[in-house]
C-alpha cells in the first residue's frame, strides 16, 4: 500500500511545479497584471513600496480596503492616566483645509483633538514687550486679578519657568513662615515666592529680599534667610526671557471637572463646570458666574439656540443668554424642579428643560409641564435633543420618548439610563446610555398604487464593549463631518466613516522616444458599505499602438491595434484592528 501513496505524493508535487510554472508564464504573458498604477509607483520605480491607503489598493493590496481610511472603522482615543472623559463636542461640519477640532471634557479639564493627537494647550509666540501677567490677561478676559494670577502660575508651571528656583525658595520659607493654619501658611509662601521671583535681575540680592520678607517671617532669622534665598538665583533654571514661545494650557481657565460642552455656529466653545461657565473663541477665555447673572455656578447642561442664544441648566433653574443679557427661570417661574438635567431649543423659539419631576417647555414667558400622564415614558428626564425633522428626543430611565408635536412615541431600553443624543446629517440618531450606544434610522416611506403611505420599520443597531466600544457608559456624543464621536468613562470612541473614492491615472509609457500611441491608464472606484466591508472596481489598460502583420516573406498583410485590459473586482473586510481580509478577482482580455 505504500507504493501507491508515494506515487500519489510524487504526482501532486510534479503537478504543483507545473501549475507554478504555468502561473508564472501566464503572469509574464499578461503584462498589465504587474504594471503598477499611480504617481508614487512611477516616481519611485523599483524602490516603491505600495501603501494601501487609497484607491490604488485595488491593485496593490485589496486587504487595504478593509482598513481606514477606505473602510468604516472604529478608532480609540484614550486619556491620560487619572482623568476620566465626561463630555465631547465638535463643530458639526468639517471645513476644507482647516484642522480637525474635537473637544473632550474630563474630570481634570479639557483636551482638544487636532486630527493627529490630543493637546491640552495653545502655543503663543512671545512678542517684544510681553510679560507673563500681560500674556495671561490676553487669554483671560475677566476683571478678576485672582484669576489672572492663577493663570500666570499655570503658564509658569507648564513651561517650567523658575521651577527649580521656586521649589528652593519654598523650602527655605517653609522653615520660617509661621501662621495660624496650614492654608494661610501656604498662601503666604506662595505670595512671597512670586514676589521674590518677580524681582528684576539687578534687585535679586539679599538686601531687596530682606525688605520683602522681614515683616512676614521671624525677624531674628530674616538676614540669614535673605542670604540663603539670594543664593537660589545662582541655580540654573528656565527663565521667561529665555523663551521664544509659550504653552498656554487650557487649564488657565478650566481646571476642574467638565459637566457640559457645546460648540456654537461661530466655533466658540462653551464649557460648563461646577464653578461657572466658560466661553473660548480660540483667542481668549470669558468667564460667567452668578456675578454676571447666572442662576448658579453649578452648570449641568448647555444648549445652543438657532440665533446663537445660550441656555444653561443649573441646580437652581435655567439661565438664558440672549442679546448679551442673562434671564433666569426657577420654580417660581413654572419649572417643576430646581435641578435641571438637560436643556434644548425647539421650533418657534421654544425652550425645553428636563428635570427629575418632568419635562418643561417655555413659549414666550410661560412654562408648560409634561409628565407620564401626557405621554412620557418616564417622569425623570435625563437628556434632550431637537432633531432636523422637528422631533424632540427625550431620554430617561429605561428608554426614549419622541415627541412629534402631535404624538408621543416610546421606545424601551430596559434597565438603562439615557445620557445624551446626537444626529448625523443622514438623519441617523445616536443615543448614549449607561449600557452602550444605540443608533436609530427611520424607515423609508413610499406610496402604494392606492395612494396609501407605507413606512418601513426603523433600523436599530446597538454598540457596546462586546462589539465596538471601549467602555459601556456613554456620557457624551457629537457629530463631526461624517464621523460620530462617543465619549465613555474609559475612552473616546470615533466611528470614522470612509468616503467613496474615484481614481483616474494616465501616463505615456515612452514619452522620451516620442511614441504617442503607447500609453497606460488605470481607473478605480471604491465604495465603503455600512457593515460588509469595502468594494472596489478597477480597470487597468495598456495601449500598444498599431501593429503591422507580415507573412514569412515580410509582406504586409494588414494592421491591427494591440491592447490589453484587466477588469478587476476587489473586496476588503475588516476582521479586527490592523487585520483585514482582501480578495481580487480579475478578468483579462488581450487583443
pLDDT of 250 strictly over 90: yes
Cβ-contact 64, 230 below 8 angstroms: no
Residue matched to cell numbers 482647516: 98
- Name 355's Cβ contacts closer than 8 Å, sequence gap at least 6: 335, 336, 337, 339, 340, 341, 380, 381
Provide the percentage of residues in the chain whose pLDDT is more than 70.
91
Using CA atoms, how far apart are residues 182 and 500, in angstroms rounded to an integer? Answer: 63
Domain residue limits, the chain:
30-69+500-590, 123-249
Residues in contact with 42: Cβ distance below 8 Å, sequence separation at least 6, in sequence order? 36, 507
Of the candidates 578, 536, 510, which has an alpha carbon nearest to the alpha carbon of residue 60?
536
DSSP of 520-542, one letter per residue? EEEEEEEEE-SSS-EEEEEEEEE
For residues 7 and 11, give the distance between their C-alpha atoms in angstroms, rounded to a whole number. Answer: 6
* Partners of 324 in the β-ladder: none
Beta strands in 404-533, from DSSP E residues, in sequence order: 408-423, 429-433, 436-441, 445-447, 453-455, 459-463, 474-480, 483-488, 492-496, 501-508, 519-528
Q: How far is CA 472 from the centre of its chain?
A: 18
pLDDT at 17 over 90: no
Strand 140-141 with 285-288, pairing: parallel
Residues with Cβ within 8 Å of 448's Cβ and at least 6 positions away in sequence, in order, are 454
Residue 9's pLDDT is 39
Nearest to 313 by CA among 356, 269, 250: 356
Q: Would you place residue 21 in the very low, low, confident or very high pLDDT band (cuts 50, 70, 90)?
A: very low
Query: Using the 8-state DSSP alphabet, how is residue 95 labeled?
Result: P
Does residue 383 register a pLDDT over 60?
yes
Q: Which contacts qualify for 287-296: CB closer than 8 Å, 24 or more apart?
A: 287/140, 287/141, 287/142, 287/144, 287/147, 287/253, 288/321, 288/326, 292/326, 293/319, 293/325, 293/326, 293/328, 294/319, 294/326, 294/328, 295/319, 295/328, 295/329, 295/330
User: Per residue in 60-94, pLDDT tens?
Assistant: 889 989 888 899 888 899 877 678 999 999 986 65
Q: Does the predicted model carry a pTM greater than 0.75?
A: yes
pLDDT in tens, 188-212: 888 888 888 888 888 888 888 888 8
Q: What is the pLDDT of residue 186?
A: 85
DSSP 194-254: HHHHTS-GGG-SHHHHHHHHTTTS-GGGHHHHHHHHHHHTTS--B-GGG-SEEEEEGGGT-
pLDDT value at 8 more than 50 = no
Predicted confidence (pLDDT) at residue 127 exceeds the cutoff of 70: yes
Express each pLDDT in 520-538 by its tens digit: 999 999 999 987 899 999 9
Amino acid at each position: 500500500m505504500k507504493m501507491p501513496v508515494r506515487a500519489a505524493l510524487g504526482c501532486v508535487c510534479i503537478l504543483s511545479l507545473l501549475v507554478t510554472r504555468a502561473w508564472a508564464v501566464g503572469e509574464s504573458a499578461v503584462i498589465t497584471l504587474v504594471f503598477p498604477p499611480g504617481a508614487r509607483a512611477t516616481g519611485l520605480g523599483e524602490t516603491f513600496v505600495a501603501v494601501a491607503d487609497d484607491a490604488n489598493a485595488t491593485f496593490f493590496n485589496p486587504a487595504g480596503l478593509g482598513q481606514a481610511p477606505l473602510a468604516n472603522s472604529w478608532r480609540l482615543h484614550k486619556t491620560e492616566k487619572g482623568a476620566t472623559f465626561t463630555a465631547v463636542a465638535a463643530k458639526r461640519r468639517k471645513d476644507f483645509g482647516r484642522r480637525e477640532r474635537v473637544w473632550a471634557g474630563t474630570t481634570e479639564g479639557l483636551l482638544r483633538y487636532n486630527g493627529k493627537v490630543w493637546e491640552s494647550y495653545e502655543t503663543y509666540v512671545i512678542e517684544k514687550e510681553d510679560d507673563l501677567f500681560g500674556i495671561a490677561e490676553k487669554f483671560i478676559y475677566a476683571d478678576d486679578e485672582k484669576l489672572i494670577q492663577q493663570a500666570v502660575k499655570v503658564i509658569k508651571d507648564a513651561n517650567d519657568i523658575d521651577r527649580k528656583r521656586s521649589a528652593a525658595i519654598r523650602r527655605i520659607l517653609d522653615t520660617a513662615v509661621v501662621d495660624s493654619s496650614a492654608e494661610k501658611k501656604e498662601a503666604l509662601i506662595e505670595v512671597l515666592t512670586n514676589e521674590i521671583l518677580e524681582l528684576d535681575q539687578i534687585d535679586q540680592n539679599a538686601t531687596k529680599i530682606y525688605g520683602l520678607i522681614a515683616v512676614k517671617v521671624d525677624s531674628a532669622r530674616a538676614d540669614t534667610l535673605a542670604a540663603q534665598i539670594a543664593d537660589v538665583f545662582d541655580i540654573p533654571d528656565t527663565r521667561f526671557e529665555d523663551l521664544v514661545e509659550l504653552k498656554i494650557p487650557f487649564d488657565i481657565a478650566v481646571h476642574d471637572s467638565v459637566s457640559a460642552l457645546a460648540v456654537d455656529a461661530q466655533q466658540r466653545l462653551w464649557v460648563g463646570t461646577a464653578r461657572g461657565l466658560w466661553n473660548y473663541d480660540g483667542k481668549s477665555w470669558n468667564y460667567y458666574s452668578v456675578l454676571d447673572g447666572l442662576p448658579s455656578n453649578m452648570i449641568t447642561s448647555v444648549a445652543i439656540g438657532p440665533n446663537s442664544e445660550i441656555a444653561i441648566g443649573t441646580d437652581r433653574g435655567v439661565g438664558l443668554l440672549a442679546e448679551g443679557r442673562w434671564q433666569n427661570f426657577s420654580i417660581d417661574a413654572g419649572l417643576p424642579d430646581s435641578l435641571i438635567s438637560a436643556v434644548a431649543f425647539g421650533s418657534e423659539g421654544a425652550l425645553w428643560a428636563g428635570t427629575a419631576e418632568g419635562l418643561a417647555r417655555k413659549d414666550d414667558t410661560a412654562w408648560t409641564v409634561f409628565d407620564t400622564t401626557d405621554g412620557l415614558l418616564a417622569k425623570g428626564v435625563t437628556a434632550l435633543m431637537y432633531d432636523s425633522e422637528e422631533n424632540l428626543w427625550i431620554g430617561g430611565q429605561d428608554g426614549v420618548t419622541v415627541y412629534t408635536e402631535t404624538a408621543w412615541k416610546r421606545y424601551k431600553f430596559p434597565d438603562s439610563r439615557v445620557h445624551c443624543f446626537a444626529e448625523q446629517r443622514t438623519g441617523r440618531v445616536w443615543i448614549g446610555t449607561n449600557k452602550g450606544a444605540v443608533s436609530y434610522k427611520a424607515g423609508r416611506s413610499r406610496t402604494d398604487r392606492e395612494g396609501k403611505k407605507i413606512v418601513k420599520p426603523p433600523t436599530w443597531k446597538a454598540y457596546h464593549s462586546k462589539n465596538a466600544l471601549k467602555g459601556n457608559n456613554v456620557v457624551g456624543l457629537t457629530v463631526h463631518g461624517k464621523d460620530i464621536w462617543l465619549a465613555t468613562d474609559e475612552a473616546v470612541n470615533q466611528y470614522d466613516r470612509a468616503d467613496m473614492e474615484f481614481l483616474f491615472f494616465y501616463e505615456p509609457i515612452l514619452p522620451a522616444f516620442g511614441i504617442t500611441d503607447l500609453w497606460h491608464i488605470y481607473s478605480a472606484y471604491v465604495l465603503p458599505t455600512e457593515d460588509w466591508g469595502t468594494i472596489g472596481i478597477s480597470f487597468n489598460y495598456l495601449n500598444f499602438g498599431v501593429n503591422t502583420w507580415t507573412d514569412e516573406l515580410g509582406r504586409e498583410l494588414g494592421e491591427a491595434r494591440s491592447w490589453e485590459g484587466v477588469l478587476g473586482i476587489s473586496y476588503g473586510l475588516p476582521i479586527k484592528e490592523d487585520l483585514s481580509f482582501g480578495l481580487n478577482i480579475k478578468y483579462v482580455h488581450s487583443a
